[in-house]
């Protein structure tokens, strides 16, 4: 072993993907959000419910008052509202949410530095970290109304 440690391989820090859309984030990048912060964005829901993977359910829900379409939208809401772990979100997604970006970025740094052990305040299922009436308001919006305006514009 030489003076400068030649030959020693530096352990590469792992990359992770954005929990919302899969883009790769290098060590230290991104923003850490809670499930409550995720579900409190009507913009997120409007986008989510008209993505190619969810569009058919939304069309069935709005155009045919289809029970299965509504059930699928409910399951999508549950996926985002019940997650115990915080959400790692990239630059391309964070602007959908009304959050303190500096704080969310700092929480992400702490999460990376702790090897994914750090959890921000109020992490966990949204229903346990929000006022019940507020939770129900966002749940009702996500399941019953999200994407309706965008679908109408699509024709």
* Percent of the chain predicted with pLDDT > 90: 90
From the list 71, 72, 16, 20, the residue with the least C-alpha distance to 43 is 20
Q: What is the pTM of this model?
A: 0.89
| Confidence band for 14, pLDDT divided at 50, 70 and 90 | confident
| Beta partners for residue 32, in sequence order | 88
Rounded Cα–Cα distance for residues 139 and 117 (Å): 28
State yes or no: pLDDT of 133 exceeds 80. yes
| Rounded average pLDDT over 126-151 | 97
pLDDT tens digit sequence for 24-78: 999 999 999 999 999 999 999 999 999 999 999 999 999 999 999 999 999 999 9
């Amino acid at each position: 072993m030489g003076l400068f440690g030649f030959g020693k391989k530096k352990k590469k820090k792992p990359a992770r993907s954005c929990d919302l859309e899969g883009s790769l984030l290098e060590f230290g990048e991104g923003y850490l959000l809670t499930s409550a912060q995720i579900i409190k964005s009507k913009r997120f829901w409007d986008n989510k419910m008209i993505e190619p993977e969810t569009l058919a359910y939304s069309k069935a829900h709005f155009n045919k008052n289809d029970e299965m379409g509504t059930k699928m939208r409910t399951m999508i809401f549950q996926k985002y509202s019940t997650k115990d772990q915080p959400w790692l979100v990239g630059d391309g997604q964070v602007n959908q949410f009304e959050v303190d970006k500096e704080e969310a970025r700092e929480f992400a740094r702490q999460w990376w530095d702790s090897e994914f052990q750090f959890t921000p305040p109020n992490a966990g299922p949204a229903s346990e970290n929000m006022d019940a009436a507020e939770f129900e308001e966002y749940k009702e919006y996500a399941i019953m109304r999200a994407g309706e305006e965008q679908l109408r514009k699509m024709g």
